[in-house]
Structure formats: structure tokens, C-alpha cells
């Protein structure tokens, strides 16, 4: 069995772009990754030190941590085909 895709979405509070990124990621996971992913949402307003520790330079940023290689996607994730290619999801 393939290991689940581990995704971390870095946002900053409840800005329109952050909320759009969360919605778009939820839809992408439901439509293309059902049962094959783990998602963590990190609010950098609550934990700003994590931006430096994890090399986050823009928000929202989606980081695919597993499987390697690590990939970062900046933006609201509205371009689903581009996100799927970056996540290396088959059928993108």
C-alpha cells in the first residue's frame, strides 16, 4: 500500500486567500486523493516562528512533505491541474 501524501498548508489567519486555499485544498483532496492523504493547516499568525523554521516566504503555501521530494506550491490552489502535477498525482 502506498504511503499517504502528507500535506501542510500554511496560512495567515482568515484572509480571503487563506480561506480560498483551504476550500480549494479540501476539494482537491476529496476529488482526487480520497483516503490517501493527511492534511495539517498551520496558521502563521498563531505560530509565526514556523515560517522561518520551515522556509515559508509567502502565504498561502502548500507543502507536500511525503512522499519525498518535498514540493511547495504558493497561492490559493485554484489551478487544480497545476496542483495535481506538483503533488505528482496520477491522472492529473
The two beta strands, 71-74 and 37-43, are unpaired
The gap from C-alpha 5 to its chain's centroid, in whole angstroms, comes to 10
**pTM for the predicted model, two decimal places:** 0.88
CB-CB neighbours of 53 under 10 Å: 8
Per-residue pLDDT at 1 exceeds 80: no
**92 band by pLDDT with thresholds 50, 70 and 90:** very low
Sort residue 35 into left (φ over 0), alpha (ψ -120 to 50) or beta: left
What confidence tens digit (pLDDT) does each residue in 55-85 have? Answer: 999 999 999 999 888 999 999 999 999 999 9
Question: Mean pLDDT, to the nearest integer, of 5-9?
Answer: 94
Sequence-distant (6+) residues with CB within 8 A of 89 are 5, 32, 33
Amino acid at each position: 500500500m502506498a504511503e499517504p501524501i502528507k500535506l501542510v498548508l500554511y496560512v495567515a489567519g482568515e484572509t480571503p486567500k487563506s480561506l480560498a486555499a483551504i476550500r480549494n485544498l479540501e476539494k482537491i483532496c476529496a476529488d482526487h486523493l480520497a483516503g490517501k492523504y493527511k492534511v495539517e493547516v498551520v496558521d502563521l499568525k498563531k505560530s509565526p516562528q514556523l515560517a522561518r523554521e520551515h522556509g515559508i516566504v509567502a502565504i498561502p503555501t502548500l507543502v507536500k512533505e511525503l512522499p519525498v521530494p518535498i514540493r511547495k506550491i504558493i497561492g490559493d490552489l485554484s489551478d487544480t491541474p497545476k496542483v495535481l502535477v506538483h503533488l505528482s498525482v496520477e491522472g492529473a
